[in-house]
Amino acid sequence: MVKPPPEPDNKLQKQDFFEDPTLPLQVYIRDPQPEFPVHSHGFDELVIILKGTARHVIDGQEFLVRAGDVFVVSPNLEHQYREMHGLALANILFDSAALAMEQWDIRALPGFHALFSLEPTFRTQHNFRSRLQLPEQKLDKANGLVRELSRETEQRNPGYRVMARGLFMQLAVMLSRAYSTTPTEESIGLLRIGDAIAHIETNFAEKITLDELAAKSHLSKRHFTRVFQECIGRSPIDHLKHVRCKKAAELLRGTGRTITDIAFDCGFSDSNYFTRCFRQTMSATPRQYREKNGDIGTIQG
Ligand code: RM4
Ligand code: NI
């Protein structure tokens, strides 16, 4: 077996920064942001600049950040703030896998993909011009949600985990919606790609072609496929299959519909092909999956 390369010393680890091991969320409000050495993280960091300005050095590039800027620092990217002038910010550390963000219907929002995966990927190429910039009123709203989230996670009164997740969800939706009203040319480009990604999430039950998705994104098929792969980690067609199988799994678990009906419900036109795709994605046939996980499915088929 090949050993993975050792972790760099300046990589912040989840267990050291998430104060509650039962919650995949952590808020730090830095007011002011003190000097902090160059570092990367083993988790995502959502940053909301609350006050002041600074130079943000990230992935070998430098951008000016100021109050109202919102961006995600993806895992393993090195970053640091320099020349801080009254800089205050909120860091919301989150573990998207543990939060099951893959299942949230926020994925139907183009701005979600733009903010959480496209902008980080295009940041350098776009020279940070596609970042989200909140107008004052929305910054106040976001700040309010962050403070509430921070209070819940500090006080840990019964119900705090649900409240914390709920507040983070609200914040994520609010910011994703706000992204759709950002005016730069670059962010419009990202929203178009986000629209193509969101189209899969909402229309998986229908026939979807690569031509159609590429047209939505205003990119050539080749370019769209490359961008998609980079942001989502799968090709568009593989992702479509993945989404369809995940939805099918939900129906297998929670309903008594027949496997053939579920295949059609989820956009498969042939149930043998469905079985093959499902086995690749879920490592079990639909029948095996239902037997193991179903609530009522085993009774009816
Ligand atoms: C630091 C700085 C970093 C962040 C840590 C958790 O003060 O803001 O970017 O990763 O906090
Ligand atoms: Ni950081």
**pLDDT by residue (tens digit) across 134-153?**
999 999 999 999 999 999 99
CB of 273 closer than 6 angstroms to any ligand 1 atom:
no
The pTM is what? 0.89
**In which region does residue 112 sit, left (phi positive, over 0), alpha (psi from -120 to 50) or beta (all else)?**
alpha
Residue whose pair of structure tokens reads 């090195």 in the numeric block: 78
Segments of the chain scoring below 50 in pLDDT = 297-301
With a 6 A CB cut-off, is 26 part of the ligand 1 pocket?
no
Structure tokens at 43: 């988790």
Q: Report the atom number in ligand 1 closest to the C-alpha of 93.
A: 6
Closest by alpha carbon to 183, among 113, 121, 135, 116? 135
In terms of Cα–Cα distance, which of 231, 203, 233 is closest to 114?
Answer: 231
CATH number for the domain that contains residue 28: 2.60.120.280
Share of the chain above pLDDT 70, in %: 98
Report how far ligand 2's centroid is from the alpha carbon of 79 (Å): 6
* pLDDT tens profile 176-193: 999 999 778 899 999 999
- Structural domain including 256 reads 238-293
The pLDDT assigned to 3 comes to 79
161 contacts: CB under 8 Å, gap ≥ 6: 22, 23
In the prediction, which pLDDT does 301 show?
A: 39
Angle of CA points 102, 269, 272, to nearest 5°: 90
For residue 66, being part of any structural domain is answered with yes
**Residue 23 sits in the same domain as residue 152:** yes
pLDDT for 103: 87
**C-beta 17 within 6 A of ligand 1:** yes
Judged by its nearest atom, the ligand closest to the C-alpha of residue 33 is 1
Are 225 and 265 within 8 A, CB to CB? Answer: no
Considering the domain boundaries, does residue 232 fall inside one? Answer: no
- Report yes or no on 142 lying in a domain: yes
- Shared domain check, 166 and 271: no
Residues β-bridged to residue 65:
54
264 found inside a domain? yes
CA distance 24 to 26: 7
Structural domains in the chain (count): 2
pLDDT at residue 170, rounded to an integer: 98
What is the Å distance from ligand 1's center to 280 Cα? 39
pLDDT score at 298? 46
80 C-alpha vs ligand 2 centroid, how far in Å? 7
Asked if residue 286 is part of any domain, the answer here is yes
Task: Give residue 170 CA to ligand 2 midpoint distance, Å.
Answer: 22
Ligand 1, pocket-test mutation among 19, 49, 91, most atoms within 8 A of CB: 91
In terms of domains, do 25 and 169 share one?
Answer: yes
Q: What is the pLDDT of residue 102?
A: 87
Pairing of strands 44-58, 61-66: antiparallel
Helices within the chain (DSSP H only): 14-17, 110-113, 119-122, 136-155, 160-179, 185-203, 210-217, 221-232, 236-254, 259-265, 271-282, 286-293, 297-300
Ligand 1: centre distance to CA 57 (Å): 13
- Length of the chain as a residue count: 301
